[in-house]
Amino acid sequence: MMKAVRKMPCNKTIDSSLLLLIEGYPFIQNRCKRYKTDIFQTRLLGQKVICMSGTDAAKTFYNDKHFIRKNVAAKCVQKTLFGENGVQGLDGNAHKERKEMFMSIMNYESFKTLIQYTHEQWEINAKKWTNKDIVLFDEAQLIMCQVACRWAGIPLKSYEITQRANDLGKMIDGFGSVGLRYHQGKCARKRSEKWIEEIITKIRSQKISPDKCTASYIIAWHRNESKRVLSTQIAAVELLNIIRPIVAIATYITFGALAMHKHPECRLKLRSNANDYQQMFVQEVRRFYPFTPFIGAKVRKSFVWREYYFKKGTLVLLDIYGANHSEKLWSSPNEFITERFEHWKDDHYTFIPQGGGDYDKDHRCAGELLTIEIMKESFSFLSTHLSYKVPKQNLNYPLCRIPTLPKSKFVIKRVMTIN
């Protein structure tokens, strides 16, 4: 056995699962601060877990010599957010080959179409809001669901939109929860997989013929290492891995609207977009507001890092919320300062709201650049083509709730579109 010379800081509690539920997003950061460390050991759901935070930790975490993803996501996460047998739980060549499929969907031409669809959908839907009070999060979910399905080549009848958008939303809302929210997320996934399995079957039997460059076509006809098409179940899980997270962008849109409300000067800067301001604003929204709390992987083979011993099979959590709010990485991390991104140099491991490392090789979010483009287009629309008032409401977003959102989901009133 390898010899480690240092004892890892250790959480004294027998099991911290309840504390994780109570504290939510800052769970890892709270302990890193308490023990003056960026690594510590704890127990969650009865198993030993190592938590780590910071740029060096991320570099190690994304070294696939050290970590695997197979059987990492808890069953409750698979039954709501991810689905079973999808790209998130693959390693080595199987992951590389599946990830290539995802990355082939992400290109300049497909982004151009997506930005156009995003703009058109905001315009169409916003016209219906004239002089009404609306809940921005709910409306953004509907818009994102329509954009996602159109872009991915999935037919969506007008009477289906609300149910499909709600189901995709519930799958996201259910992942960090227990009880009713989890149950709703699980039922929503079952319904959504059944719907998308039928779409895959129809594409394969040529009852519907989406464009060859769309996600539905690419995934339905994708052949794996052994030259076979994916099972209908897996193809449905992977197509949902495209449309579900596009709907999740409604959360960032809502937080961006909150940021514009709290910092009205941002709204004006978004309109003029001098020095690529939209990019800076989007990056600061993704840094400042909480979404992904942490990411998990398991130790592939025992190793020593910074004289700490990582035993084969141990679950390791990389802190995302803490990295976004770390005083070591950001000046005034708890303030919303868009200009911090003006001369930002990316190193793939410091700013990781959607995972780190390389898009093609690692598990970094396949849709990160797409997320940024949709956010830019949405904020451009909200700041330039929409006038509204923000009534008094509860805009707090509890950090103990994963995923979180302003309590009121951001109500706006006296909405008018501006050409």
Query: What is the closest distance, in whole angstroms, from the C-beta atom of residue 372 to ligand HEM in the complex?
Result: 9
Please, which residue, 9 or 406, has the CB nearer to ligand HEM?
Answer: 406
Distance separating alpha carbons of residues 92 and 88, to the nearest angstrom: 12
Instruction: Decide: helix, strand or coil at residue 202.
Output: helix
Non-local (6+) Cβ contacts of 320 within 8 A are 292, 293, 294, 295, 352, 353
Query: What is the closest distance, in whole angstroms, from the C-beta atom of residue 375 to ligand HEM in the complex?
Result: 9
Please, which residue, 370 or 411, has the CB nearer to ligand HEM?
Answer: 370
- Say if residue 22 is exposed, middle or buried (CB neighbours under 10 Å; 0-12, 13-18, 19+): exposed
Query: What is the closest distance, in whole angstroms, from the C-beta atom of residue 140 to ligand HEM in the complex?
Result: 11
Query: What is the closest distance, in whole angstroms, from the C-beta atom of residue 152 to ligand HEM in the complex?
Result: 8
What are the phi and psi torsion angles at 414 (to 5°)?
50, 55
Instruction: Decide: helix, strand or coil at residue 262.
Output: helix
Please, which residue, 123 or 368, has the CB nearer to ligand HEM?
Answer: 368
Tell whether omega for the bond before 293 is within 30 degrees of 0, i.e. cis: no
Which candidate, 142, 140, 174, places its Cα nearest to that of 254?
140
Binding site for ligand HEM (CB under 6 A): 87-88, 99, 102, 241-242, 245-246, 248-249, 252, 291-292, 295, 354-355, 363-367, 370-371
Please, which residue, 154 or 246, has the CB nearer to ligand HEM?
Answer: 246
Which candidate, 375, 399, 406, 264, places its Cα nearest to that of 325?
399
Q: Which residues pair with 304 in a beta bridge?
A: 309
DSSP string, 357-397: S-TTTS-S-TTHHHHHHHHHHHHHHHHHTEEEE--S-----
- Say if residue 284 is exposed, middle or buried (CB neighbours under 10 Å; 0-12, 13-18, 19+): buried
The amino acid occupying position 166 is N
Query: What is the closest distance, in whole angstroms, from the C-beta atom of residue 354 to ligand HEM in the complex?
Result: 4
Find the residue with minimal CB distance to ligand HEM: 367
Please, which residue, 102 or 217, has the CB nearer to ligand HEM?
Answer: 102
Please, which residue, 4 or 106, has the CB nearer to ligand HEM?
Answer: 106
CB atoms within 10 A of CB 210: 18
Query: What is the closest distance, in whole angstroms, from the C-beta atom of residue 13 to ligand HEM in the complex?
Result: 26
CB 260 within 8 A of CB 382: yes
Query: What is the closest distance, in whole angstroms, from the C-beta atom of residue 266 to ligand HEM in the complex?
Result: 20
Query: What is the closest distance, in whole angstroms, from the C-beta atom of residue 198 to ligand HEM in the complex?
Result: 21
Per-position b or e across 327-356, b if 16+ CB within 10 A of its CB: eebbeebeebbbebbeeeeeebbbbbbbbb
Q: In this structure, what token pair is assigned to residue 234?
A: 């897996």
Query: What is the closest distance, in whole angstroms, from the C-beta atom of residue 12 to ligand HEM in the complex?
Result: 29
Please, which residue, 11 or 222, has the CB nearer to ligand HEM?
Answer: 222
Please, which residue, 9 or 403, has the CB nearer to ligand HEM?
Answer: 403
Please, which residue, 102 or 330, has the CB nearer to ligand HEM?
Answer: 102
DSSP string, 130-154: TT--EEHHHHHHHHHHHHHHHHHT-
